[in-house]
Amino acid sequence: MKTREEYIESLKKLNLEVYLLGEKVENPTEHPIIKPSMNSVAMTYELAQQPEYEDLMTVTSSLNGEKINRFTHLHQSTDDLVKKVKMQRLLGQKTASCFQRCVGLDAANAVFSTTYECDEAHGTNYHENFKKYWDRVQKEDLVVDGAMTDTKGDRALSPSQQADPDMYLRVVERREDGIVVRGAKAHQTGIVNSHEVIVMPTIALRPEDKDYAVAFALPADAKGIFMIYGRQSCDTRKLEPNADIDVGNKNFGGHEALMIFDDVFVPNELIFMNGETDFAGMLVERFASYHRQSYGGCKVGVGDVLIGATALAADYNGVPKASHIKDKIIEMNHLNESLYSCGIACSCEGCATKAGNYYVDTLLANVCKQNVTRMPYEITRLAEDIAGGLMVTMPSQQDFDNEKLKPYIEKYLKGTDDVPTEDRMRILRLIENITLGTAAVGYRTESMHGAGSPQAQRIMIGRQANVAHKKELAKEIAGINKKK
């Protein structure tokens, strides 16, 4: 397994084509806006080297018998599914941000089982392709991004009906040695910090959409791939000198990017689906369910930090014993643990796929994510309520460092007498970062749209809830349709 340092060095060897604020980034690992997100991924390597986290962060590979990072594991039991969620909570606690390796882990497990069943039905060789590929990923301890979300164009039209056929990534040429693809994948979490990418379709497809039923893997720096880094609220604070306080979370962060595939060649051995429209829906559903499970871990870990920061803000404001403050913090904890319980529940109720890896309970995974679209927003509202308006009206660190202004800021922004004004400023900026700033992408907004929109989960809940069975239960109790 790689160390933190080896991971960072391996990124430096990639020839990634990245654009940020209209300019090409020559060294993404050193760019001040990008570097905190790299640090978050590096934490997944750092913790895996620490003995106290060995049980959560590492596991024995089912493919090669070697000790591997759990972020490259194919789940072999419900215990693996549970440990995944616990690992994600731990990483959220350590970084207070998105640590970016979950998407690739979820993609791998979905592709593993789907290719097995696709091969059974069509006589293809995708499963062996994937096993060989993933064996290398495990042995080299690589960060793999999962790319599912297409830009979609006119949402009322199917992929093949779009005025511009590139609104969904597609095969534009089939050759004897592989395929050529064109399109884009949006909201690509962590792609600039990734060695590889697994591409999947974004929706269930019909036969006429054959060219869009494509799944494959490539190095993130393959010819024809480039990334346009997404803006985040308050992101340029990281470029300012003496903005340590203002950034809120100076060491860690997350990122998303628009990933362009400009006529990119994919060799046959890295193709996992090529026109099998009848299995596109299965792949999408399995990935979505795994990823909806993930949110019961990562968002909870970040929530732990936010709750802690909010409780500190109450202490620094001098109101920790106020009954309404205590009740609001209790409610924050109640909501956070409710999210966690859903993540654990869908893991415990998981089962083996035909391919042998373990899959979450689909209904409970979607319930988990549906709760995530709501509860973090209430946790955020309560945090902002307790923190107070100073969280968003506070002077900058440059003002604080000004010889004339500093005494006034220290005097008038003081809370309790035993807490330095600077400490109060720092905790308020951390709350701002998680709820409104750069970390809000990985906590607040991603809670709504990550792993599919809220309506996508409601559709799955409607399909999986088995209301017909519940009607029969009610009829039996009520004595309906019984023979006299």
Task: Return the CATH number at 114.
Answer: 2.40.110.10
Is 234 assigned a catalytic role? no
Q: What is the pLDDT of residue 459?
A: 94
Domains contained in the chain, number = 2
Asked whether residue 112 falls in the same domain as residue 252, the answer is yes
CA distance 287 to 285: 6
Which token pair is 207? 């036969």
Residues spanned by the domain of 168: 4-282
Residue 44 domain-assigned?
A: yes
Asked whether residue 89 falls in the same domain as residue 162, the answer is yes
Residue 275 domain-assigned?
A: yes
Residue ending a domain, choose from 247, 262, 282: 282
Is 291 assigned a catalytic role? yes
Asked whether residue 113 falls in the same domain as residue 150, the answer is yes
Those residues whose C-beta lies under 8 Å from the C-beta of residue 443, and which sit 6 or more positions away, are 97, 299, 302, 303, 306, 376, 380, 434, 435
User: Among positive and negative, which fits the CA dihedral 147, 153, 156, 158?
Assistant: negative
Which token pair is 66? 């070697």
Asked whether residue 99 falls in the same domain as residue 240, the answer is yes
With contact defined as beta carbons under 8 Å apart, do 183 and 152 qualify? no
Asked whether residue 269 falls in the same domain as residue 321, the answer is no
Asked whether residue 72 falls in the same domain as residue 196, the answer is yes
3-state secondary structure of 359: strand
With contact defined as beta carbons under 8 Å apart, do 284 and 148 qualify? yes
Those residues whose C-beta lies under 8 Å from the C-beta of residue 348, and which sit 6 or more positions away, are 78, 81, 82
Q: Which of 212, 295, 316, 358 is catalytic?
A: 295
Which token pair is 285? 């559903």
Q: Which of 72, 78, 114, 189 is catalytic?
A: 189
Q: What is the pLDDT of residue 438?
A: 80
Asked whether residue 81 falls in the same domain as residue 131, the answer is yes
- The pair phi, psi for residue 267, each rounded to 5°, is -70, 155
Rg (CA), the chain: 24
Q: What is the pLDDT of residue 460?
A: 94
Residue ending a domain, choose from 233, 250, 282: 282
Q: Which of 17, 45, 58, 102 is catalytic?
A: 102
Sequential DSSP letters for 320-357? TT-HHHHHHHHHHHHHHHHHHHHHHHHHHT-EE-TTSS
Instruction: Please tell me what DSSP assigns to residue 14.
Output: S
Residue 451 domain-assigned?
A: yes
Q: Which of 234, 298, 342, 346 is catalytic?
A: 298
Task: Return the CATH number at 371.
Answer: 1.20.140.10
Q: What is the pLDDT of residue 483?
A: 61
- The pair phi, psi for residue 444, each rounded to 5°, is -75, -65
Asked whether residue 256 falls in the same domain as residue 340, the answer is no
Q: What is the pLDDT of residue 484?
A: 53
Q: Which of 72, 202, 255, 256 is catalytic?
A: 256
With contact defined as beta carbons under 8 Å apart, do 101 and 71 qualify? yes
Is 118 assigned a catalytic role? no
Is 351 assigned a catalytic role? no
Asked whether residue 251 falls in the same domain as residue 174, the answer is yes
Q: Give the Cβ contact number of residue 190 at 10 Å.
A: 27
Is 66 assigned a catalytic role? no
Is 295 assigned a catalytic role? yes
Residue 391 domain-assigned?
A: yes
Residue 211 domain-assigned?
A: yes
Those residues whose C-beta lies under 8 Å from the C-beta of residue 99, and which sit 6 or more positions away, are 40, 41, 43, 44, 91, 92, 254, 298
Residue 478 domain-assigned?
A: no
Residue 479 domain-assigned?
A: no
Q: Which helix (H) or strand (E) holds 69?
A: strand 67-69
Q: pLDDT tens track of the chain, all 484 residues?
A: 999 999 999 999 999 999 999 999 999 999 999 999 999 999 999 999 999 999 999 999 999 999 999 999 999 999 999 999 999 999 999 999 999 999 999 999 999 999 999 999 999 999 999 999 999 999 999 999 999 999 999 999 999 999 999 999 999 999 999 999 999 999 999 999 999 999 999 999 999 999 999 999 999 999 999 999 999 999 999 999 999 999 999 999 999 999 999 999 999 999 999 999 999 999 999 999 999 999 999 999 999 999 999 999 999 999 999 999 999 999 999 999 999 999 999 999 999 999 999 999 999 999 999 999 999 999 999 999 999 999 999 999 999 999 999 999 999 999 999 999 999 999 999 999 999 988 778 898 889 988 888 999 999 999 999 999 999 999 999 999 866 5
Is 269 assigned a catalytic role? no
With contact defined as beta carbons under 8 Å apart, do 436 and 392 qualify? yes
Is 443 assigned a catalytic role? no
Those residues whose C-beta lies under 8 Å from the C-beta of residue 392, and which sit 6 or more positions away, are 432, 436
Asked whether residue 382 falls in the same domain as residue 273, the answer is no
Q: Which of 78, 98, 202, 346 is catalytic?
A: 98
Per-residue HEC secondary structure of the chain comes to CCCHHHHHHHHHCCCCCEEECCEECCCHHHCCCCHHHHHHHHHHHHHHCCHHHHHHHEEECCCCCCEEEHHHCCCCCHHHHHHHHHHHHHHHHHHCCCCCCHHHHHHHHHHHHHHHHHHHHHCCCHHHHHHHHHHHHHHHCCCEEEECCECCCCCCCCHHHCCCHHHCCEEEEEECCEEEEEEEECCCCCHHHCCEEEECCCCCCCHHHHHHCEEEEEECCCCCEEEEECCCCCHHHHHCCCCHHHHCCCCCCCCCEEEEEEEEEEEHHHEEEECCHHHHHHHHHHHHHHHHHHHHHHHHHHHHHHHHHHHHHHHHHCCCCCHHHHHHHHHHHHHHHHHHHHHHHHHHCCEECCCCCEECCHHHHHHHHHHHCCHHHHHHHHHHHHHCCHHHHCCCHHHHHCCCCHHHHHHHCCCCCCCCHHHHHHHHHHHHHHHCCHHHHCCHHHHHHCCCCHHHHHHHHHHHCCHHHHHHHHHHHHCCCCCC
Asked whether residue 173 falls in the same domain as residue 210, the answer is yes
Residue 148 amino acid letter: M
Residue ending a domain, choose from 228, 252, 282: 282
Residue 412 domain-assigned?
A: yes
Asked whether residue 325 falls in the same domain as residue 257, the answer is no
